[in-house]
């Protein structure tokens, strides 16, 4: 695609809404909400256009932009100067994550109608967050990636700290500390890469075989590469999150406002997976392969640890939070398989879990608005007064436990298919997670919808149209991917091939 | 017509989609939608069956998902076994939906009920025509979820909720084994397609150990779905669902899917005698185990449920001893008479509003149609001469004996005795004797309920004649004609076995008559003498309790332990580091006091230290 401005327009398109919002008075709630929601449709439409125009059979990056951005060093003194480029471009993986981002952001904006205070500031931060997320997935330069990455942290911090539930400030601080530390480690690793190779271009870095560098460069030594890869894994492990770095994420899930959690668990966590694939696997394929067994173990721990704990949680939001920990374990297992099926499964899981957890948290918002609680012991039998909501919650729950015909099954299936080829014993242990997932999902979902209806919830209202539409879109996408997975797989296969070339699989 | 077999599942899917969106508003309209669309499906299925008997087969696939160089496909296939299943499932589903029109007429959620039935019928039919293991697995899970939804149909009842959850989780344990087996086979054969897998097995490309392992893993999946020991516990509890559901899903079709799976994968089992033996032993044990529990239960549907478990055990036993035709034959006849029995039981429950057989009695005169139909079903399942169950069970006995499995043969005979006994215990307690029910006005069910029962009654009586040693082994010939790789070697009848089996069955019926009909023997004769036997049977050998105190207890405890670990250890470390950071911060903050004197002192000390260092090391100028 030879359209150098397209991606920039896409990434910064939320700014249009921000500008309009900036000129609106603070106290007109309904118009602010409308504008805030409409503003997310623009990037969504652009992302859909990109998806349609994307050539799935072309191996190179598409919609590429590359402009010199920062010049380091004085050419008159050192005879050569280093440039950092403003470089954008997408392959299938980036494109799908951009599409996911725009879809979930639009749905989260629709869910934001329940936000009551300081709507203007809320939507401004919300849209800024979208710019950051889109930039993260489109960046082809490490520094640019880092800038966008940081750009997601700040609005998220304020969204949690200001619009969250009771212990919102503590949760926001924890979010910032963990993610700040993670990104500090990431920055160090990036700078080391830059100083040793002289480039921050992601594609170029992927093409370099570090072991062939002159032996004066530390990167040529495998021990150094292990160290650097380890640093990168830690940086993204915080984000995914990988056990034992997950505590912050539970708080965010429990305390952040519902639309923020939709985005957080739907997209922000996925930056961790994206980083693992793009940087850890992409830059250090051989070292990554050596780490694969350890990653598989960590994935197994995530999967089972999250699932077993989710089983005993009394707060529905925490059930979902631990469920995210568990489901991200499948991403790790898929990546550790080091084959097409596994990696494709991991990517599918990223997208599928994004949709499913966004939907589940959306439903949490619907229930919370009516019952003012997410404690499982305080709710039961809502299928009577809210049949549609309950049906959709059940559908989302079934998707989450990997029912065939929905996206969760496809990703689990492929991840395990891949893992069974390489590490059959670990994979067999991992299938235990499939059972435990069914146990905790059904326990929580059936607690809410089945059984006797509580006195005070006899006459709560069912879904309104503004709630029904986003939920229908989400379940629709989940089923579409489940029934016709080629819709994603076709744009992905070249991106996965290029990752695998390095591993030699 | 075989090329249009894909139409068969399509009609029920259409019914599901329509009713999902409009079902709540319609009432009898929803029932008609379901019944008519399923009827269309049945008509197509019959034409497919006829066409297939004429020799046509079909295998159509299309690309579904690309994983690297591997292309997974979906599609449909028609061969004798699944043509038969296709017609059978559509037939029973149509009859049960017709019956439900009357049975569920008063229920405000009849629309969603028929939507679920549509989804189930679609999934079951699609499962049957799957050409590969992956597609089979997908629909296998979908029928499971429909079963879950329908067991929990009365969502406000705690028992229904617990039963639905249990059904889902227990069958999922089996499903995971099937999942593993399926993936292992894929890496061995390079494909999920049945044809490719069998080719690899027959060519000897898969190591014998792997054949046995995958065959047993797949069998565990079948054990879960077909309620075989030790994963049988969900099936009796599943009776919390509406009775038509019990007839359709938990008797005639879905629970038979496990048997169907083993039959479908038969070339794999034939390649491993260890796997065959496992199937036979589990089946035989389940047959007698469940039948013995059925002897003492008081809930009519539970007795029928244990009977289903037991009969499914017979089918597994047949397959395990090499009686492919016998197993499939019994699957078919069982679908007729067990669906009939459940529908008849539903008609009784509908009339007296209780499921407790101790509160029934004397209904023979009041339910002029239901009574004789129940009797026909009871005779058929017991194996009364010349009825359908007689022929199919007879073949299982012959096959077991033919394989030289004397112990299993004896077990099967005793189980047959139990079967005859508990069925007629039911019959006498429900229809004979004095009325013990509280309901004053007992009426026969409406026509929409009776017609399906009558049709099934005819099938239950005559269905056995498709395969008899006396009139012709049409079924075996048909299966044998398409393929000779199934090891079909029906030795035909064996008069000795037939006579022994008949004597056993008549003995069971006679004993039931003595105790519950004529009351010549006191009911407490045995339970009074050895009360613990009755108690153990009534409590179903304490299997549920056993699971509760082991697996459930462990899972629960382990998850509680991990919860504490996460809260106090992992999170504790986080809190600790936060405290440390704050403490360090506090110390540093004290330095930032704003007092110039302190700063000056520090600067001076620093200066002195720097000079000292320079003096010691020789300094900058060296």
Provide DSSP, B215-248.
HHHHHHHHHHHTT-TTS-THHHHGGGS-HHHHHI
pLDDT digits (tens, 9 = 90+) for A154-195: 999 999 999 988 888 888 988 888 898 899 999 999 999 988
**Per-residue pLDDT, B486:** 59
Residues of chain A found within 8 Å of residue B173, distances taken between Cβ atoms: 435
**Per-residue pLDDT, A78:** 60
Look at A451 and B184 and tell me if their CB atoms are within 8 Å: no
What tokens were used for A84?
């950092």
CA distance A198 to chain B (A): 33
Look at A405 and B156 and tell me if their CB atoms are within 8 Å: no
CA distance B383 to A420: 46
Q: How many CB pairs under 8 A join A and B?
A: 129
Q: Which helix (H) or strand (E) holds A89?
A: strand A82-90
Please say whether the beta carbons of A307 and A326 come within 8 A.
Answer: yes
Residues 300 through 329 of chain A touching chain B, CB cutoff 8 Å? 305, 308-309, 311-313
CA distance A384 to chain B (A): 8
Q: Which residues contact B506 (CB under 8 A, 6 or more apart)?
A: B384, B420
Look at B562 and A449 and tell me if their CB atoms are within 8 Å: no
Packing angle of the helix pair B495-512, B388-402 (nearest 10 deg): 130
What tokens were used for A403?
């029912």
Where residue B362 falls among pLDDT bands split at 50, 70, 90? confident
Q: Nearest residue of A to residue B562 by CA position?
A: A309
What tokens were used for B339?
């669906």
Best probe of the B interface among A425, A451, A462, by most B CBs < 10 A, is A451
CA distance B594 to B589: 10
- Give the position of tokens 């004597």: B503
Segment among A101-115, B173-187, B188-202, B423-437 with least mean pLDDT: B423-437
Give, as one character, the DSSP assignment of residue A452. P
Q: Nearest residue of A to residue B574 by CA position?
A: A247
Q: Which residues contact A151 (CB under 8 A, 6 or more apart)?
A: A128, A129, A131, A132, A135
**Per-residue pLDDT, A75:** 61
B145 in contact with A, Cβ within 8 Å: yes
More confident residue, A90 or B531: A90
Give chain A's length: 505
B491 has a pLDDT exceeding 60: no
Phi, psi of A216 (to 5 degrees): -75, -25
- Give the residue from B366, B129, B163, B339 showing the smallest Cα distance to B253: B339
pTM: 0.91
More confident residue, B127 or A494: B127
What tokens were used for A328?
């991200």
Classify burial at A196, counting beta carbons within 10 Å of its beta carbon; exposed 0-12, middle 13-18, buried 19 or more. middle
DSSP output for B465-526: GGEETTTEEHHHHHHHHH-STT--------HHHHHHHHHHHHHHHHHHIIIIIS--S-THHH
Cα B524 off chain centre by: 35
Instruction: Name the residue facing A381 among B156, B173, B559 (closest C-beta).
Output: B156
The mean pLDDT value for B55-64 works out to 87
* Percent of chain B clearing pLDDT 90 (strictly above): 45
pLDDT digits (tens, 9 = 90+) for B561-576: 888 888 888 888 777 8
B133 has a pLDDT exceeding 90: yes
**Per-residue pLDDT, B121:** 94
pLDDT digits (tens, 9 = 90+) for B209-234: 999 999 999 999 999 999 998 999 99
**Per-residue pLDDT, A1:** 47
What value does the mean pLDDT of chain B take?
A: 87
**Per-residue pLDDT, B620:** 57
**Per-residue pLDDT, B549:** 87
- Give the residue from A356, A336, A337 showing the smallest Cα distance to A295: A336
**Per-residue pLDDT, B437:** 74
| Beta-bridge mates of residue B468 | B472
Where residue B114 falls among pLDDT bands split at 50, 70, 90? very high
CA distance B286 to chain A (A): 24
Residues of chain A found within 8 Å of residue B164, distances taken between Cβ atoms: 446, 450
A339 in contact with B, Cβ within 8 Å: yes
B128 has a pLDDT exceeding 60: yes
Most confident of A271-275, B489-493, B511-515: A271-275
Helix, strand or coil, per DSSP, at residue B299: strand
The mean pLDDT value for B502-523 works out to 86
Alpha helices of B248-323 — where are they, by DSSP H?
257-264, 266-270, 273-294, 300-320
**Per-residue pLDDT, B493:** 62
Look at A486 and B63 and tell me if their CB atoms are within 8 Å: yes
B492 has a pLDDT exceeding 60: no
More confident residue, A90 or B473: A90
**Per-residue pLDDT, A151:** 93
Q: Give me the residues of chain A with pLDDT under 50, please.
A: 1, 505
**Per-residue pLDDT, B487:** 55
CA distance A493 to chain B (A): 7
Torsion angle of the four alpha carbons A422, A426, A431, A434, in this order, in degrees rounded to the nearest 10: -110
**Per-residue pLDDT, B351:** 86
- Give the residue from B124, B137, B114 showing the smallest Cα distance to B15: B114
Residues 169 through 208 of chain A touching chain B, CB cutoff 8 Å? 174, 177
Residues of chain B found within 8 Å of residue A247, distances taken between Cβ atoms: 566, 570-571, 574
Instruction: Name the residue facing A446 among B161, B180, B571 (closest C-beta).
Output: B161
Instruction: Name the residue facing A340 among B67, B165, B558 (closest C-beta).
Output: B67
Residues of chain B found within 8 Å of residue A485, distances taken between Cβ atoms: 64-65
Look at B64 and A174 and tell me if their CB atoms are within 8 Å: no
CA distance A340 to chain B (A): 6
Look at A308 and B555 and tell me if their CB atoms are within 8 Å: yes
Residues of chain A found within 8 Å of residue B559, distances taken between Cβ atoms: 308-309, 311-312
pLDDT digits (tens, 9 = 90+) for B89-107: 999 999 999 999 888 888 8
Look at B156 and A435 and tell me if their CB atoms are within 8 Å: no
Look at B155 and A383 and tell me if their CB atoms are within 8 Å: yes
């Amino acid at each position: 695609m030879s359209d150098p401005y397209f991606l920039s327009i896409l990434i910064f398109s939320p700014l249009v809404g921000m500008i309009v919002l900036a000129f609106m008075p603070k106290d007109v709630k309904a118009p602010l909400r409308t504008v805030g929601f409409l503003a997310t449709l623009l990037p969504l439409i652009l992302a859909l256009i990109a998806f349609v125009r994307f050539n799935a059979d072309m191996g190179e990056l598409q919609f590429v932009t590359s402009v010199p951005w920062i010049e380091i060093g004085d050419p008159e003194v050192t005879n050569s100067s280093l440039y950092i480029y403003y470089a954008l471009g997408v392959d299938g993986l980036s494109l799908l994550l951009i599409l996911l981002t725009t879809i979930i952001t639009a749905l989260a904006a629709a869910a934001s109608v329940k936000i009551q205070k300081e709507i203007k500031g809320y939507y401004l931060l919300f849209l800024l967050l979208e710019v950051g997320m889109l930039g993260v997935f489109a960046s082809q330069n490490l520094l640019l990636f880092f800038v966008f990455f940081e750009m997601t942290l700040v609005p998220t911090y304020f969204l949690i700290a200001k619009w969250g539930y009771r212990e919102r400030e503590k949760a926001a601080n924890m979010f910032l500390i963990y993610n700040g530390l993670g990104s500090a480690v990431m920055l160090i690793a990036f700078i080391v890469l830059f100083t040793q190779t002289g480039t921050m271009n992601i594609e170029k870095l992927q093409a370099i075989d570090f072991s062939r560098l002159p032996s004066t460069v530390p990167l040529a030594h495998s021990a150094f590469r292990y160290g650097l890869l380890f640093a990168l894994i830690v940086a993204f492990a915080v984000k995914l999150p990988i056990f034992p770095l997950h505590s912050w994420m539970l708080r965010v899930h429990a305390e952040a406002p519902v639309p923020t959690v939709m985005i957080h668990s739907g997209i922000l966590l996925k930056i961790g997976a994206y980083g693992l694939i793009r940087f850890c696997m992409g830059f250090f394929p051989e070292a990554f392969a050596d780490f694969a067994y350890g990653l598989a173990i960590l994935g197994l721990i995530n999967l089972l640890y999250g699932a077993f704990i989710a089983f005993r949680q009394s707060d529905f939001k925490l059930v979902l939070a631990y469920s995210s920990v568990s489901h991200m374990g499948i991403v790790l297992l898929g990546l550790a398989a080091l084959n097409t099926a596994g990696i494709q499964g991991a990517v599918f899981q990223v997208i599928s879990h994004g949709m499913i957890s966004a939907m589940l948290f959306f439903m949490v918002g619907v229930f919370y608005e009516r019952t003012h609680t997410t404690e499982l012991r305080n709710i039961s039998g809502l299928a009577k007064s809210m049949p549609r909501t309950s049906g959709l919650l059940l559908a989302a729950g079934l998707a989450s436990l990997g029912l065939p015909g929905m996206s969760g099954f496809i990703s689990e299936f492929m991840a395990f298919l891949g893992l069974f080829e390489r590490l059959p014993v670990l994979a067999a242990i991992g299938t235990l997670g499939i059972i435990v997932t069914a146990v905790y999902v059904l326990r929580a979902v059936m607690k809410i919808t089945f059984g006797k209806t509580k006195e005070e919830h006899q006459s709560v209202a069912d879904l309104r149209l503004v709630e029904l539409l986003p939920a229908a879109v989400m379940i629709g996408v989940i089923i579409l991917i489940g029934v016709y997975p080629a819709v994603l797989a076709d744009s992905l296969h070249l991106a996965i091939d290029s990752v695998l070339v390095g591993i030699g699989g | 017509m075989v090329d249009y077999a894909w139409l068969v599942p399509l009609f029920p899917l259409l019914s599901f989609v329509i009713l999902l969106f409009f079902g709540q508003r319609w009432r009898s309209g929803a029932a008609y939608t379901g019944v008519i669309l399923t009827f269309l499906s049945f008509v197509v299925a019959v034409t497919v069956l006829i066409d297939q008997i004429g020799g046509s087969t079909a295998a159509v696939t299309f690309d579904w998902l690309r994983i690297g160089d591997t292309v997974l496909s979906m599609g449909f296939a028609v061969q004798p076994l699944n043509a038969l299943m296709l017609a059978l499932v559509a037939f029973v589903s149509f009859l049960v939906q017709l019956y439900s029109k009357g049975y569920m007429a008063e229920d405000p959620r009849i629309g969603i009920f028929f939507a679920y039935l549509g989804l189930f019928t679609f999934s079951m039919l699609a499962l049957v025509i799957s050409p590969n293991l992956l597609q089979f697995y997908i629909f296998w899970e979908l029928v499971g979820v429909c079963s879950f939804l329908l067991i929990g149909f009365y969502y406000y009842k705690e028992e229904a909720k617990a039963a639905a959850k249990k059904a889902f989780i227990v069958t999922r344990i089996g499903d995971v084994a099937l999942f593993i087996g399926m993936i292992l086979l894929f890496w061995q054969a390079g494909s999920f397609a049945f044809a490719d897998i069998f080719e690899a097995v027959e060519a000897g490309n898969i190591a014998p150990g792997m054949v046995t392992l995958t065959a047993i893993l797949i069998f565990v999946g079948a054990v879960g779905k077909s309620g075989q020991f030790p994963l049988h516990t969900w099936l009796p509890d599943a009776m919390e669902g509406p009775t038509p559901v019990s007839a359709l899903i938990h008797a005639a079709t879905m629970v038979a899917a496990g048997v169907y799976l083993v039959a479908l994968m038969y070339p794999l089992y034939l390649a491993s005698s260890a796997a065959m033996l496992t199937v036979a032993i589990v089946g035989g044990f389940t047959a007698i185990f469940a039948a013995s529990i059925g002897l003492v239960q008081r809930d009519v549907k539970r007795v029928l449920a244990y009977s289903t478990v037991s009969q499914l055990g017979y089918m597994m036993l047949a397959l395990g001893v090499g009686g492919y035709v016998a197993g499939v034959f019994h699957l078919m006849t069982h679908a007729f008479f067990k669906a009939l029995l459940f529908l008849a039981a539903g008609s009784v429950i509908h009339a007296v509003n209780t499921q407790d057989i101790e509160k029934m009695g004397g209904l023979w005169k009041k339910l002029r149609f239901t009574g004789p139909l129940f009797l026909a079903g009871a005779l058929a399942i017991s194996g009364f001469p010349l009825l359908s169950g007689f022929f199919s069970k007879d073949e299982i006995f012959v096959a077991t004996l033919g394989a030289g499995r004397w112990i299993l043969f004896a077990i099967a005979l005793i189980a047959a005795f139990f079967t005859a006994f508990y069925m007629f215990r039911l019959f006498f307690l429900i229809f004979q004797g004095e009325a013990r029910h509280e309901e004053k006005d007992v009426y026969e069910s409406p026509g929409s309920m009776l017609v399906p029962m009558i049709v099934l009654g005819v099938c239950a009586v005559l269905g056995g004649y498709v395969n008899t040693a006396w009139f012709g082994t049409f079924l075996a010939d048909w299966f044998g004609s398409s393929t000779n790789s199934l090891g079909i070697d029906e030795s035909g009848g064996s008069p000795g076995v037939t006579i022994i089996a008949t004597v056993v069955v008549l003995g069971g019926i006679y004993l039931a008559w003595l105790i519950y009909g004529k009351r010549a023997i006191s009911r407490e004769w045995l339970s009074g003498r050895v009360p613990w036997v009755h108690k153990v049977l009534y409590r179903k050998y304490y299997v549920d309790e056993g699971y509760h105190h082991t697996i459930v207890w462990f899972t629960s405890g382990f998850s509680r332990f991990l919860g504490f670990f996460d809260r106090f250890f992992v999170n504790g470390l986080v809190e600790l580091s936060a405290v440390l950071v704050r403490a360090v911060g506090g110390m540093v903050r004290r330095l930032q006091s704003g007092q110039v004197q302190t700063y000056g002192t520090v600067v001076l000390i620093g200066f002195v230290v720097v000079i000292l260092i320079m003096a010691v090391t020789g300094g900058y100028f060296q």
